[in-house]
Structure formats: C-alpha cells, structure tokens
Amino acid sequence: MSGNPPGSMSAPATSAPETPAGADGAATAPAVAFINRYPDAAMITSRADGTAHMARIELSVVDGRIRTSGSPKLVRTRHVRRDPRCSLYVFGPAPHWLGLETRTSILDGPDAPQLLVALMRSRHRDRTPPGMVLGHDYELGQDRLYPEQEYLDHVRAEQRFVFDFEIIRAYGNS
C-alpha cells in the first residue's frame, strides 16, 4: 500500500506499488488506519456498457472488513448485483489517497439490520450513547440519534443492507 515501514502514515513523494490484501480479503493494518482516519470515499462500479459510475460514500471497518451501508434503490446496488467488481478511492488530505480494488458482497439477509448497527457504531465510535445508534435520517437530511429498536425498525422498513468489500489489491499515497 505504501513504501513506508508497516504502521507508518507518512507519505512518499510518489504513489506506491500495488500490494495484495490481507488474508481472506480483509483490510491490512495500514488500510484500516487510513480508513478509520479518513472514511470519505468514492465507490466506482461498472454500468452494463462498461463505463464507470461513481458515488460518494462513507466507509467503516468492522471486524477487519471494510463496509458501508446500502439500499435496493441505489444505482450502485444494481451494478454490484450484476458485476461485484468495485473500486474504492479513499480521500485523504492532499496528496494522500488510498485505492482499493474489491469484490463486493451485499449482506442483505435477516441479520442485515444488526450488521448495520455494528457498522454505525464502528463509524461513530464514541459519539453514540449506550442503547442509541447514530444514523442518517433522510427526511431531516442529516444524521441523528435513534434508540436502537427504532433504528432497527427504520432500516428494516427501508430494506437497507451492508456492502462488504473483499480487497483484491491496494495502492495509493497514504
């Protein structure tokens, strides 16, 4: 991922060579540290004609896996269901960035609401009181605190799920 010693976050002057992912597509320690510090990313999927489609997302690391929330209504969901290959461009302060080539899974089973609670708690760490979940409220257009059961009901009603990214290759200037 970078030409620096393991765990180092200082950047070389140029992009580093590509490196493989950790075991089972899990994020490597430097990638986890970068994403935890800079969670804003672009998710790049492929349209049926092969052209790129981009969407801004916010990533979280849950149990060593890189994840974000999803919905059946999103264009990127249709693309991933057709072709699970996806690239992530993680924004750091210039000139730092992280590129991840991934294979994406949609975790939309009966445990999806609980997976979303874990994702939101990982994303917002210390900003959430016990028994509450900080999640997006589309009517308000911003994040708000939900009692956990209300959040579970909310994401079930919207059929929300988790995108899980298996890392194939990582590179960048992180």
Contact 75, 52 (CB under 8 A): no
Specify burial of residue 82 (Cβ count, 10 A radius: 0-12, 13-18, 19+).
Answer: exposed
Split at pLDDT 50, 70, 90, the class of 138 is confident
Mean pLDDT of 22-50: 89
Whether residue 50 is predicted with pLDDT greater than 90 in this model: the reply is yes
Split at pLDDT 50, 70, 90, the class of 24 is low
pTM of the model: 0.85
CATH assignment, 24-173: 2.30.110.10
What pLDDT score does 174 carry?
79
Query: The tokens of 72 are what?
Result: 């059946």
Task: Work out whether the CA dihedral 29, 30, 31, 34 comes out positive or negative.
Answer: positive
- Structural domain boundaries of the chain? 24-173
Whether residue 12 is predicted with pLDDT greater than 50 in this model: the reply is no
Split at pLDDT 50, 70, 90, the class of 19 is low
| pLDDT, tens only, 79-104 | 999 999 999 999 999 999 999 999 99
Mean pLDDT of 136-162: 93
Split at pLDDT 50, 70, 90, the class of 133 is very high
